[in-house]
Amino acid sequence: MPQVTLGLPVRNGAALLDKAITAALAQDYPHITLLISDNCSTDATPDICARHAAADPRIRYHRQTRDLGAIGNFEWLARQADGDYFMWVAHDDTRAPDCVSQLVAGLIAHPEAIIAYGDVEEIALDGSRRMIPFDGDTRGLGLAGRLRKTAQPQFFQTYGMWRRAALQRLSFGATAWGQEVPMMMAAACLGEVVHVPGAVLHYRVNPKPYWQLRMSRDDALPWGALIAKLPRAVQPFAPRFAMSRLVWGTFGAVRRVAGLRAGLYAGWLMILWLGRQIRVWTFGRLPARRGKG
């Protein structure tokens, strides 16, 4: 049976970490390794990780010596993973006990797919739950169709099951905003994404909006701290200055795996999508995104 690595990035996640580790280890799929990357936590995270690692040999716990930033922590886990398949598990999310086994079966049944993802149940701050309608399935689409469908702001399929070899071919950009976009657009060039109904991810809403977490945290973005010091009313408009970097990062990530023509097409799709976002920022409030890691 295929070997699965579950990668858990965490920084100061003690409040919910114990539940996330327990849920990961409770998966009914037998061949798993839980790889935890502690990104210089200053709370009880190291103690929780050490306790679980001492009790279960399937855990590999690593404490970083410097702050990698959120995306850097995700990337470290992907680069260190071995085995056939890989899945990120956020420190504040859980999954149904049969989620891993169902997603593995989905990849086995669809050899042309590089990602299998399931259903998403959102857990709000007040504890209420709702299923999120999300269509990231790209089966039957050609390269252009997969790129068009992937050119959107939410990527729940990122938390699906990846073929490790395909994931490790991708580049992880240091764009200030939309940091999953270059990686996921490049992934669309390598194969299809398949939806597996019934493999449930319990996705917890982060109280801080995506742009605030990313802009102020990643040390890969030296001007992020400066943006965080701007008046709160101005901060949401700061990503406008990062648009060119996002377009260029998407072009480069796609070009490396699929060639110049695909890279140019992906960059053009980003320009169109960002144009729509500008209208949202100009005439309405910036949509909130949830951050992890």
Q: Specify which residues 60 forms β-bridges with.
A: 35
Structure tokens belonging to residue 287: 């949509």
Residue span of the structural domain in which 62 resides: 1-293
Chain centre distance of CA 169? 16
Among residues 101, 102, 105, 78, the alpha carbon closest in space to that of 164 is found at: 78
Whole-number pLDDT of residue 275: 77
Closest alpha carbon to 242 in 181, 288, 175: 175
**If residue 118 lies in a helix (H) or strand (E), which one and from where to where?**
strand 113-123
Cα separation of 79 and 77, whole Å? 5
Looking at residue 44, its pLDDT comes to 96
Residue 257 C-beta-side C-alpha neighbours within 13 Å? 24
DSSP code per residue over 173-199: ---SS-TTHHHHHHHHHH-EEEEEEEE
Residue 117 sits in a domain whose CATH number is 3.90.550.10
φ, ψ for residue 9, nearest 5 deg: -90, 135
pLDDT at 286: 46
Q: In tens digits, what is the pLDDT along the chain, a chain of 293 residues? A: 899 999 999 999 999 999 999 999 999 999 999 999 999 999 999 999 999 999 999 999 999 999 988 888 999 999 999 999 999 999 999 999 999 999 999 999 999 999 999 999 999 888 899 999 889 999 999 999 999 999 876 789 999 999 999 999 998 865 656 678 899 999 999 999 999 999 999 998 876 544 444 444 443 344 455 555 666 665 555 555 567 778 888 999 999 999 999 999 999 998 888 777 666 555 554 444 445 54
In the chain, the number of structural domains is 1
